[in-house]
Structure 1
Amino acid sequence: MSRILSLLKEGKKKEAWQMYCGFIRLSTAAFMQVQERLLKEQLELAAPSGLARKLAGGDLPKNVHDFRRHFPLTTYEDYAPFLSEKREDLLPARPELWICTTGKPGKYDRKWAPYSPSMVAAHAKNFMAAIIFSVAAREEEFTLKENFRFLYGMAPPPYLTGMVPYGLKNEFPFEYLPPLAEAEKMTFEERNKEGFRLGLTKGVDLFFGLSSVLVRIGEEFTGRKPEKTVKPGRFGLLAWSRLLRGLVKSRLNSRSILPKDVWNLKGIICAGTDTAFYKERIEHYWGKKPVEIYGGTEIGIAATQTWDHEGMVLFPDANYWEFIPEEEYFKTRKNPVYVPQTVLTNELEPGKRYEIVVTNFRGGAFLRYRVGDFIKVLALKNERLGIDLPQIIYEDRADDVIDLAGFTRITERALWDALKKAGITHGNWVAKKSFPKDHPVIELYLGTNPSGKAGEVEESIHQALRQVDADYHDLEEILGYRPVKVVLVPEGFFKTCRQRQKAASKDRFPENFSRINPPDELFEELTAFKAQKREEEGQPRS
């Protein structure tokens, strides 16, 4: 029996809360003490490892000050030759699990991250904290019962979300719908149907997965008209009675049936880069605000919202946290050889944006690793809840990548390949993620002659992206929408913008800017052009 289950059965709810959620009562100074202690342990573990020595170009610095001063900032390209081959002999500790995510086509197909047994345990414990926050009404008041039923919304292993249940098995006994062994062999549609069937019969208590998936399940549930497809003979009287109660609720509210009419979820935990965008629809469909967590393949479970569903709090024992201020980041965009300065958690400033840099604890592989994510600091504390730790939100990718709904990461190379397949060989284009309606899309601004038709160009690029990126193809199949929007701009538009910005001496506007996630100044001009074009066509400005 797990420790938390024993405590809950003994009625020791406060002790259970303290075990998993007590970190929110740390002062910033105490938070930093945990950080430094665990970093010193990591440096001792990593010092003899071949990987750390290769990255350091010799001996690994022995103390925190020298480590931050002399050890270089790293990116996945520094690790790819070793982790792609799973060179366990070079690692600080033998891994229990290898977890992966999408890589960069042409460089590495997958990013791999090793997790030692103590890393798995630490991140599982942090995920349990997020679960507790999701079912909490207030501090130390929460409901968690043995065999609570999780609706399976995870990617299959070896992706991070699919590995979570394996980490949790030693923390708490949950039941998964469908069961893990079956769910991992099913397609997305098969998992949804079987989860729907089992959920009607057994009920659903919890959900964890990508926020985009939960919205899609809600859309499919409502669009499927379950009252017409669920038959008592196939699903059983218990399922039918649960559905009838849901139908009565929906009729009383004069609307279509929603998942929240059928199930009363106790907690929702969502991951994915676009959770903030989806959260209102999640509450609409499921009747419960999600607790957002921030994490990733290389960093594990990094931060979580608490029971007020506002800013996220970093876990002190997940990784050693450093942050590149936005102004330092832009210096590296102008001058790639510039080495940006970093700050620590106790040096963050409210309202500012930072690129995250992490060093894994407990024998992890990544040292001073640039994750490629931007976070924003909302405040240095949560005044209402009395939490004296920085409150953050995930903002977006910091690198030349567009992350769509947590399903795929579109690189500049992938877009180049798709454009070439579509017969477009010039370089007059830029792309950025936008949220025009219900889902995030790639908004592609393409220079062309006045006779070009956006719809035809968009269709050809969309089909080409389906061919060059399998995850893009799967996103459309699973979430049911087209993730690209093309806006045609006149030939010479980008050259004119560059000249205008250069004349205005915009320090952050480099001569050779990235085509993905271009400088804000350029995107502001593109947005203004799009609005003017819509107005000329008699459409509302948006």
Structure 2
Amino acid sequence: MTFEEKIKALEPQEVWEEYCGFLDLDMESYMQIQNRLMLEQLSLWEASPLGRQMLSGRKPASIRDFREQFPLTSYGDYADILLMKRDDMLPEEPVVWIETTWEGGTHPVKVAPYTKGMVEIYTRNLFAALILSTGTGRGNFNVEQGDTILYGLAPLPYATGLIPVAVQDEMRLEFLPPVREAVNMSFGERNKKGFKMGLSKGIDYFFGMGSVAYFVSLSIAAIGGGQGGSGGGGIKKLLHCSPSMLARLLAAKSRCRKENRDLKPKDLFKLKSFICAGTDNGCYKDDLEDLWGVRPLELFMGTEPSCMGVETWNRNGMYFFPDTCFYEFIPEAEMYKSLDNPDYQPKTCLMDEVVAGEKYELVISVLKGGAFMRYRVGDTYRCMGLSNKEDQTCIPRFQYIDRIPTVIDIAGFTRITENSIRSVVELSGLQVQEWMAVKEYNENNRPYMHMFVEMEEDSLASHAVSREILKEHLGVYFKYVDQDYTDLKRILGMDPLAVTILRCGTFAEYERRTGNRIRRINPSSLEVGELLRLQQESYAPKRRCYA
């Protein structure tokens, strides 16, 4: 039966148990599923040309042997096969290839194969998320055929583009705008058409990346014509409304005038569900809840791991689906050892070995014929607890923290690394002696990249370089080498770069005093603080080396 047939024929509790029953597992049962599926995957993978090539003659007899004998991998280990889409090398034939940015400014794209089994699990877990996002407890949910979805996610070949494909054979849901039209529209055109259709039909669900959803949500103010809902900007839109929506809009505009505030989406739409995917969602959830009256439920999906984790109705931590990937976790101390020494193989623990409160880098082996084994995704999580009385669960739940420290991700759009910044500096032709970059948050809790730059002394002796000029110059080259960086400005209207110019010799003095070279990307707050303290000391040249 399809999902639509099940919600008609079965009791809600039966549907719940089929899709969300993983929440009722104890740790032993969860690991039994993990180990069984991993053994099936290992058998497929080691028999494939890809597996034989990567194992180099080794034949692990168990999962433990495999973890001990086979090193952790990164995308570079698969690139020569996957970028050529060598189906003949893979454990199972893909039915679709998913694409995303590999490393901004260095590697344009990376692709990942999805098998039929992977897509089936993706679909099942997507409906689990839909159930959880509309419910208030076990067996309680509100999903109906014909519901409308304001869709704010990227189309195929990106992973989120699978969502409409996955649901179309399972349930009749109406996407606003229709997917066949949306794929040929710009971001702005999709937003306008989606809200226009929403005014006519109503909006039941909103899928979006946190940063994008926030930007889209603000555009609803145009319907009200400004503060208090006054002005003529929304008059034309009234002509496209159904009678019920017209009445709701007029009532909302009147209420906003009395309260002397801008119109918000929650004044017009009563969402059943709000689902956020992507990174930096924590920066936007409170504002999105205020705008829509519904707290977003976080769904974690990625190009390599597929649809991997979801929050429950309590919106208090994500649980990993046991049938998507086999999960390993690198403790934070081990992660830093491996980042400092690329030859070091960090130790990992399994789901039943994680510790509450600890932070981990995630490692996955994709099940159901996937290509990636013991793969470092590049994401970090904190274990929030091993059980939860509110959810009545006995398995670990996690909070997404960020990318690993060597990557600066801004609002889910960029993957800025040391290599990409070095390319920008070299291309710019600026006389930059030293630099470091840190991800920070402004007073509104919005992420940005803060570069600390030390210029060559001779270049500044002849002419002053202001912070504004340097920022503008570097920004031009970031846009040149990284399309995702460009999209931050084009799509979100965000300027993600701040620049501080340090005195000449500050970095050298830090190295002399500490005996260590400061990390180029995301040094600790203690390291940054020490560098800035040295900047103020008397060792620095008396002649100013910055403007």
For normalisation by structure 1, the TM-score amounts to 0.92
For the structure 1 residues 223 and 432, does the alpha-carbon distance in structure 2 shift closer, same or farther, using more than 3 Å as the test? farther
Provide the residue aligned with 1:415 in structure 2: 421
Distance 1:527 1:379 in 2: 37
Q: Is the 8 A contact 2:39 2:63 kept in 1?
A: yes
Provide the residue aligned with 2:57 in structure 1: 58
Matched, 1:116 2:115: yes
Q: Is the 8 A contact 1:325 1:355 kept in 2?
A: yes
Selected match of 2:279 from 273, 295, 298 = 273
Q: Is the 8 A contact 2:151 2:207 kept in 1?
A: yes
- Give the CA deviation at 1:383: 2.2
Provide the residue aligned with 2:125 in structure 1: 126
Cα shift readout 1:23-56 (whole Å, capped 9, x = no counterpart): 0110111111100000000011112111111111
- Give the CA deviation at 1:224: 5.9
Distance 1:530 1:259 in 2: 47
Which residue identity is paired with 2:279? T
Provide the residue aligned with 2:497 in structure 1: 484
Task: Classify the secondary structure of the residue corresponding to 2:501.
Answer: strand
For the structure 1 residues 251 and 137, does the alpha-carbon distance in structure 2 shift closer, same or farther, using more than 3 Å as the test? farther
Q: Is the 8 A contact 1:161 1:209 kept in 2?
A: no
Cα shift readout 1:111-138 (whole Å, capped 9, x = no counterpart): 1110101101101211211111111122
Provide the residue aligned with 1:441 in structure 2: 448
Provide the residue aligned with 1:284 in structure 2: 290
Q: Is the 8 A contact 2:149 2:174 kept in 1?
A: yes
Provide the residue aligned with 1:67 in structure 2: 66
Selected match of 1:501 from 514, 520, 524 = 514
Distance 1:17 1:74 in 2: 36
Gaps of 5+ in 2: 538-547
Provide the residue aligned with 1:353 in structure 2: 359
Task: Classify the secondary structure of the residue corresponding to 1:176.
Answer: strand
Cα shift readout 1:369-398 (whole Å, capped 9, x = no counterpart): 011111111111112221111121111111
Q: CA RMSD in A?
A: 2.1
Q: Is 362-371 or 393-402 further displaced after alignment?
A: 393-402
Cα shift readout 1:265-300 (whole Å, capped 9, x = no counterpart): 111110111001110111111111000122210001
Q: Is the 8 A contact 2:203 2:269 kept in 1?
A: yes
Which structure 2 residues correspond to residues 192-231 of structure 1 after superposition, within 5 A? Answer: 192-223=191-222, 225-226=224-225, 228-230=232-234, 231=236
Selected match of 1:517 from 522, 526, 541 = 522
Which residue identity is paired with 1:466? K
Paired-residue identity, %: 38
Cα shift readout 1:223-248 (whole Å, capped 9, x = no counterpart): 56456333267414535333213213
Task: Classify the secondary structure of the residue corresponding to 1:409.
Answer: coil
Matched, 1:373 2:389: no
Task: Classify the secondary structure of the residue corresponding to 2:109.
Answer: strand
Distance 2:532 2:221 in 1: 34
Matched, 1:468 2:472: no
Provide the residue aligned with 2:334 in structure 1: 328
Q: Is the 8 A contact 1:50 1:90 kept in 2?
A: yes
Which residue identity is paired with 1:380? L
How many residues are treated as equivalent by the alignment?
Answer: 523
Provide the residue aligned with 1:137 in structure 2: 136
Provide the residue aligned with 2:540 in structure 1: none
Provide the residue aligned with 2:541 in structure 1: none
Provide the residue aligned with 2:392 in structure 1: 386
Provide the residue aligned with 2:12 in structure 1: 13
Distance 1:31 1:441 in 2: 38
For the structure 1 residues 236 and 277, does the alpha-carbon distance in structure 2 shift closer, same or farther, using more than 3 Å as the test? closer
Selected match of 1:341 from 344, 347, 357 = 347
Cα shift readout 1:59-90 (whole Å, capped 9, x = no counterpart): 44241111111011100000011100100000
For normalisation by structure 2, the TM-score amounts to 0.91
Q: Is the 8 A contact 2:311 2:318 kept in 1?
A: yes
For the structure 1 residues 31 and 463, does the alpha-carbon distance in structure 2 shift closer, same or farther, using more than 3 Å as the test? same
Matched, 1:400 2:406: yes
Provide the residue aligned with 2:93 in structure 1: 94
Distance 2:405 2:170 in 1: 35
Provide the residue aligned with 1:539 in structure 2: none
Matched, 1:169 2:150: no
Distance 1:527 1:357 in 2: 35
Task: Classify the secondary structure of the residue corresponding to 1:103.
Answer: coil
